[in-house]
Amino acid sequence: MNQTKPFPDPSDGNDLYMTILAFLLFLIEQGILLKTILSKLPKKVLQQMGKKATKICKEKGIVPKKVPDEHYYQINSYPLSVLVEMWKGFDDLLI
């Protein structure tokens, strides 16, 4: 049985950076989000998540890291702590 694991603790100073999609896949792996929800998630919602994460970064003085993407050339990667905060506005997608 897959047990839900807590988010890694970013307070240790080793904040992990992830893209929005990688974060959502992480939530699926942890049993927090259903895979079927991700497959039906409108692109617009992913864009809203990115905008919210970018806004949180700006408020905290964090610069998102750019990572290569085969569709968009480059996309942003955010600290896990920012993604967890961003997720609070979208957790209505929970199972």
Q: pLDDT per residue over 23-70, tens digit each?
A: 999 989 988 888 888 888 888 999 999 999 999 999 999 999 999 999
Between 75 and 9, the higher pLDDT residue: 75
For residue 1, what pLDDT is reported? 39
- Contact between 21 and 53 under an 8 Å Cβ cutoff? The reply is no
Alpha-carbon 37 to chain mean position: 15
**CA 28 → CA 16, 33, 44, distances in Å?**
17, 5, 20
Mean pLDDT of 66-91: 91
- Contact between 67 and 74 under an 8 Å Cβ cutoff? The reply is yes
**Structure-block tokens of residue 88:** 């609070």
For residue 39, what pLDDT is reported? 84
Q: What is the pLDDT of residues 42-55, one digit of tens each?
A: 889 999 999 999 99
